[in-house]
């Protein structure tokens, strides 16, 4: 009886639990603030907080009561955070759907029902990250190929070969478009299949390691159809539970950003279909006994998809939409990265990608595990899954670059790769 009481869930009104939000530091004159937002898109709100408020946010873990948070604030800053101010902050967070609880669960149920009724998964980032008009988008894509950072017209050494896979960034298209182009030029010049399994990184996190959707995807260049035969085979073999979180596709950019490039590269070739999969699991789940269930789900998914692909009897190409390291204050480091720390990171990234080129998923995972994932390789799950599914002889890093994400030089690294 006592144990049951101890294990009972805590009252969220007294022990608030912040959802898995993203945040970024910003500076206005001499003042520093934190911006919070919901990467799932369930809430469209943003919240700008003074840095000392962010101390409170970090204690909304479902384990600290409001009284304990107030005491921790007093100890840290030497002043009281008045209870009425704390209650107003909690109320504002709840109103914005930033706290776990019934309000959020009801919003999720409504959003899921709307998503499943929708005829297609609509483009969410056209007009923001890339051109919304089809004709203008074609010009924009051509420009990425011919820019000084792009691959231009030099023929690929793999021209005419059967392509088996790509790893492509999912960084902001306007900035990283030329790096995408290096990968899609390989596809453009290769013997391409009519089926693409697109493995996107789920940036907001999932309960399961994978989320599949059976929605067709709409872009300014037309509708990209999902492969109905492969979906049916996958479900029949036991893959139905991996559709539970299909709503996560609605606002996730990592698959959407690949589709205009894929349409552009496949223009004039055979019509194609896709299987859209979002991936989210840490490298530690491969070795941590406490994460055995999660690792088991990874193995189950990979086994089912392998069998479904084999039964289909079709050639396919895997596209892994993935970023690499995340450095700086936006991602939890105490200070901004320096030129030296970036160059050291670049060397480490390229060393980490050697087992990817060699098609060795275990060595790739082991490399990150040994680092303690201190550089936060967000594309691990996507690249690992690609390596487990791919039927290729070798991979090659085509191009490597980075993007700066805020005023404090927070940095994301990424690469384009091709597999034949």
Residue 382 CA to residue 323 CA, distance in Å, equals: 9
Residue 419 CA to residue 310 CA, distance in Å, equals: 19
> Which residues, at least 6 apart from 405, have a Cβ–Cβ distance to it below 8 Å?
24, 328, 330, 411, 412
Domain with CATH 3.90.930 in the chain: 2-109
Quick one: DSSP state of residue 291?
A: G
Q: Which CATH class is domain 2-109?
A: alpha beta
336, pLDDT greater than 60? yes
User: How confident is residue 220, by pLDDT bands cut at 50, 70 and 90?
Assistant: very high
6, pLDDT greater than 80? no
**By percentage, how much of the chain surpasses pLDDT 70?**
98
- Mean pLDDT to the nearest integer, 275-292: 96
Q: Between the CA of residue 360 and those of 180, 312, 383, what are the distances in Å?
A: 23, 25, 11
Task: Look at residue 165 in the predicted model and tell me its pLDDT.
Answer: 98
pLDDT, the chain, mean: 94
pLDDT tens digits along 369-385: 999 999 999 999 999 99
Task: Look at residue 152 in the predicted model and tell me its pLDDT.
Answer: 86
Q: Is the pTM of this model over 0.85?
A: yes
Handedness of CA 80, 81, 85, 90 (dihedral sign): negative
Task: Look at residue 230 in the predicted model and tell me its pLDDT.
Answer: 98
Task: Look at residue 4 in the predicted model and tell me its pLDDT.
Answer: 45
pLDDT tens digits along 69-104: 999 999 999 998 989 999 999 999 999 999 999 999
Domain with CATH 3.40.830.10 in the chain: 122-419
Fold (topology level) of 122-419: Protocatechuate 4,5-dioxygenase; Chain B (3.40.830)
Per-residue HEC secondary structure of 225-270 comes to: CECHHHHHHHHHHHHHHHHCCHHHHCCCHHHHCCHHHHHHHHCCCC
- Mean pLDDT to the nearest integer, 192-199: 97
Q: Nearest CA to 416 among 244, 77, 180, 87?
A: 180
pLDDT tens digits along 105-164: 999 999 999 999 999 999 999 999 999 999 999 999 999 999 999 998 889 999 999 999
């Amino acid at each position: 009886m006592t144990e049951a009481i101890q294990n009972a869930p805590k009252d969220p009104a007294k022990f608030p639990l912040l959802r898995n939000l993203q945040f970024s530091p910003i500076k206005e004159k001499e003042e520093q603030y934190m911006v919070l937002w919901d990467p799932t898109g369930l809430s469209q709100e943003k919240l700008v907080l003074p840095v000392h408020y962010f101390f409170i946010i970090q204690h909304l873990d479902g384990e600290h009561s409001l009284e304990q948070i107030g005491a921790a604030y007093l100890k840290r800053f030497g002043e009281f955070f008045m209870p009425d101010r704390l209650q107003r902050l909690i109320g504002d967070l709840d109103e914005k759907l930033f706290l776990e609880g019934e309000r959020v669960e009801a919003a999720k149920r409504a959003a899921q029902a709307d998503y499943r009724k929708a005829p297609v998964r609509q483009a969410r980032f056209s007009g923001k990250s890339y051109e919304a008009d089809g004709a203008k988008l074609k010009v924009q894509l051509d420009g990425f190929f011919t820019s000084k950072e792009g691959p231009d017209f030099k023929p690929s050494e793999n021209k005419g070969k059967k392509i088996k896979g790509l790893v492509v960034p999912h960084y902001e298209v306007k900035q990283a478009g030329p790096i995408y182009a290096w990968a899609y030029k390989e596809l453009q010049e290769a013997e391409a299949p009519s089926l693409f399994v697109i493995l996107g990184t789920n940036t907001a996190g999932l309960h399961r390691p994978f989320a599949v959707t059976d929605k067709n995807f709409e872009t300014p260049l037309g509708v990209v159809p999902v492969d109905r035969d492969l979906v049916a085979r996958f479900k029949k073999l036991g893959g139905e539970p991996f559709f539970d979180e299909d709503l996560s596709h609605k606002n996730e950019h990592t698959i959407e950003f690949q589709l205009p490039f894929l349409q552009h590269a496949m223009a004039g070739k055979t019509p194609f279909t896709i299987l859209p999969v979002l991936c989210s699991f840490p490298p530690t789940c491969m070795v941590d006994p406490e994460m055995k269930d999660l690792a088991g789900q990874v193995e189950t998914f990979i086994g089912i998809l392998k069998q479904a692909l084999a039964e289909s009897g079709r050639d396919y190409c895997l596209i892994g939409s993935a970023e690499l390291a995340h450095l700086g204050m936006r991602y939890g480091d105490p200070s901004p990265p320096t030129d030296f720390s970036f160059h050291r990171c670049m060397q480490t990234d390229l060393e980490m990608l050697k087992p990817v080129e060699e098609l060795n998923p275990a060595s790739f995972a082991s490399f990150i595990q040994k680092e303690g994932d201190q550089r936060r390789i967000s594309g691990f799950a996507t690249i690992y899954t690609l390596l487990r599914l791919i039927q290729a002889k070798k991979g090659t890093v085509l191009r490597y670059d980075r993007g700066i994400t805020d005023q404090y030089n927070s940095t994301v690294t990424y690469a384009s790769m091709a597999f034949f």
